[in-house]
Amino acid sequence: MSGELGERAQILLVEDEEALRVSVKDKLELEGFTVEATSNGEEALRRIKSKTHDLAILDVVLPGMSGLEVLKRIRDKEAEGGTGAPHTPVILLTARAHESDKVLGLELGADDYITKPFGVRELVARVRAHIRRERAHRDGDAEPPPPVPPGYKFGDCTVDFSGFKFKKKTKEIRLSALEWKILSVLVRERGRTVTRERFLREIWGWEKLPVTRTVDFHVSRLRSKVDDAKEPRHIITVHGIGYRFEE
Ligand code: CA
């Protein structure tokens, strides 16, 4: 199992409930991951300062510093590293009683969340998926999609990315600058899921990080122009994660 993801992935786990922390740590280690586990945010910050983890699992409600604050520090550190800095996928552990935490967490740049109580196997499966996705992105993927041709066609649409011309059937449709950017990222990554988080980083940048709902808003506007808003065939929503473009 450990060889499947290449080098051992380093995971930071912050959870104050001891029984849960121990069981998650044990299970992840059995699956071949290296785990640094701690019960508090202050210790987590020390770990974050000294190294970059492949993934972090953060309980939101902690004594002292919250998991959301830890998440914010992870993103701050990445922002200091510039656009080439590695991205640490973050999974939040939220309580059903605190539904607003997950919204706030996603806005702060969490990649995923899992509501307590949860099955440890489910968490491990998500850990594996996030690490795999991040590595594929970092390595430029084994099979990058071919470059976008000048008169790129999908469904009944034709796109000219260099001339900023978009036609649906024979009708020319105006796209805003943001919509062009979103469409070009989607088409470039066609067939693969683009997380909201990645849209935020690529299109808006870290300096003026808006909320993830902003991404949803602009994607749905783009979709209403280039796709069928009710039954989209090209801009597919990947629930809780982001969007995927299909030809
Ligand atoms: Ca807790």
- Kindly give the distance from the C-alpha atom of residue 109 to the centroid of ligand 1, in angstroms, as a whole number: 20
- Kindly give the distance from the C-alpha atom of residue 225 to the centroid of ligand 1, in angstroms, as a whole number: 44
- Kindly give the distance from the C-alpha atom of residue 16 to the centroid of ligand 1, in angstroms, as a whole number: 5
Architecture of domain 151-245: Orthogonal Bundle (1.10)
Query: What confidence category does residue 196 fall into, taking pLDDT thresholds of 50, 70 and 90?
Result: confident
Rounded to two decimals, the pTM is: 0.60
Write down the pLDDT at residue 106: 78
**Using CA atoms, how far apart are residues 140 and 133, in angstroms rounded to an integer?**
11
Burial bucket for residue 111 (CB in 10 Å: 0-12, 13-18, 19+): buried
Extents of the domains making up the chain? 2-139, 151-245
**Using CA atoms, how far apart are residues 227 and 182, in angstroms rounded to an integer?**
14
Distances in Å between the alpha carbon of 236 and those of 48, 148, 162, 200, 243?
Answer: 35, 19, 24, 18, 6
- Kindly give the distance from the C-alpha atom of residue 206 to the centroid of ligand 1, in angstroms, as a whole number: 29
Pick the CATH number of 2-139 from 3.40.50.2300, 3.40.50.920, 3.30.365.10, 3.30.530.20: 3.40.50.2300
Tens digits of residue pLDDT in 119-153: 999 999 999 988 988 887 776 654 555 677 778 89
